[in-house]
Amino acid sequence: MMQPASSWIDQFGRQKRKLRISVTDRCNFKCLYCMPEHPEWMDKHSLLSFEDLYAFCQFMVERGIDSLRITGGEPLMRQGVVHFIEQLQSLRALGLKRIAMTSNGHYLTKYADALKQAGLDDLNISLDSVDSQLFQQLTQRELAPVLAGIAAAQQAGLSIKINTVLMQGINDSQILPLVAWAKQQQLPLRFIEYMPLDGDAQWQRQQVVTEQQILQQLAPHYQIEALPQDQSPARIYRLDQTYDVGIISTISHAFCGQCDRIRLTAQGELYNCLFAPQGIALKSEIQALAAHSDVARDQLQQRIAEYIWYKKSGFHAIHAQAHSPRKISMHMLGG
Ligand code: SAM
Ligand code: SF4
């Protein structure tokens, strides 16, 4: 297939519509499956400013991106992020349909109302245990502020989903308690298979709790019905005809066939895939774009279109070829 002149489409015909922006790599948590033991934070002065990020988002929305997700590190640790979300509202006139955030929930008692007022459409909150001791073990932080944050987000009227990463022998004991809790709270819950994106590259396949294993744990307690799959990467299962649980099984059933996502790090590196061995550094062009340079606009158009075009078919194609661990992990890519 020939590369088309201008659109965010890859060689497999997958149009990119979703852009994830990491606004910081910093985080107050130290999740076992994400943060390195000794994180080396990006220099704060090296991050793209919100003006730069706004210019980039506008550029991307004008070319077909219709959904933005703000992530991190912990996005609520970056000063000014709520105001940034407010500013992004003006891109709806250009075709932006959805502004979302992924957060660990710790600061939500402070920010939930402001996020709602700023026009946030969706909020994903990570919660890997409802047992406070295990939560502490997993994140090195307390559970109580997160539960209070979730309650504040519900109170504020935000649309919430709970995301849980499972690790074999660590928190697979939480499958049933989390389902019971989320069902009782009437909150959508999605389990995510542990991916080889941890900061210290310690991932091993046997640590993954697979979709099948999750279903095996649920089966004695619920009547399970698989629902037809839509565009989302999660497979949805209806429990007792009343409550839906999602499972994102990147490892056991990669969902790459329809992938419409790309990602930008806080320092302006674009990744065409979570598992891409390399991104492209766009910081200087994005800064020039924000300063209204037409040359930068043309360069960005060309470089991004070409990079997206060569996106690989998916996780298995990349993982099979990977020889050395990458320098980038989930706390920089944002999930
Ligand atoms: N700090 C925020 C949070 O935890 O929600 C946003 C950033 S975090 C990197 C985004 C998502 O990536 C979270 O849902 C987290 O659980 C998930 N994640 C991190 N490392 C992962 C891994 N190795 N495998 C699967 N998911 C992972
Ligand atoms: Fe922080 Fe989120 Fe990574 Fe946990 S998953 S360490 S909360 S960035």
* pLDDT tens column, 267-291: 999 999 988 888 999 999 999 999 9
Structure confidence by residue, pLDDT tens digits, 230-252: 778 899 999 999 999 999 998 88
Q: Is the CB of residue 74 below 6 angstroms from any atom belonging to ligand 1? A: yes
Please check if 102 is assigned to a binding site: yes
Spacing, Cα 335 to ligand 1 middle (Å): 5
List Cβ neighbours of 115 (8 Å cut-off, separation of 6 or more). 82, 85, 101, 108, 123, 153, 156, 158
The range of the structural domain enclosing residue 305 comes to 5-333
The candidate with the shortest Cα–Cα distance to 203, out of 67, 117, 329, 81, is: 329
What's the CA gap between 248 and 191, in Å, rounded? 6
The pLDDT score that the predictor gives to residue 3 is: 52
Q: Is the CB of residue 72 below 6 angstroms from any atom belonging to ligand 1? A: yes
For residue 186, the 8-state DSSP code is T
Q: Is the CB of residue 199 below 6 angstroms from any atom belonging to ligand 2? A: no
What's the CA gap between 87 and 64, in Å, rounded? 19
Q: Is the CB of residue 135 below 6 angstroms from any atom belonging to ligand 2? A: no
The pLDDT score that the predictor gives to residue 320 is: 63
C-alpha dist (Å) from residue 273 to 15, 16, 165, 270: 13, 11, 19, 9
Q: Is the CB of residue 26 below 6 angstroms from any atom belonging to ligand 2? A: no
Task: Note the ligand closest to the C-alpha atom of 198.
Answer: 1
Please check if 141 is assigned to a binding site: no
What's the CA gap between 278 and 68, in Å, rounded? 22
| Counts for the chain of helices (H) and strands (E), in that order | 11, 12
What's the CA gap between 39 and 35, in Å, rounded? 7
For residue 228 the two structure tokens come to 């037809």
C-alpha dist (Å) from residue 126 to 111, 195, 291: 16, 15, 36
Take atom 19 of ligand 1 and give the residue whose Cα is closest. Answer: 34
Q: Is the CB of residue 124 below 6 angstroms from any atom belonging to ligand 2? A: no
Spacing, Cα 293 to ligand 1 middle (Å): 35
Give the residue ranges of the chain where pLDDT is below 50.
Answer: 4-5
What's the CA gap between 332 and 247, in Å, rounded? 23
The pLDDT score that the predictor gives to residue 255 is: 74
Q: Residue 162 maps to which CATH number? A: 3.20.20.70
What's the CA gap between 102 and 309, in Å, rounded? 27
The pLDDT score that the predictor gives to residue 265 is: 96
Spacing, Cα 134 to ligand 2 middle (Å): 16
Total domains, the chain: 1
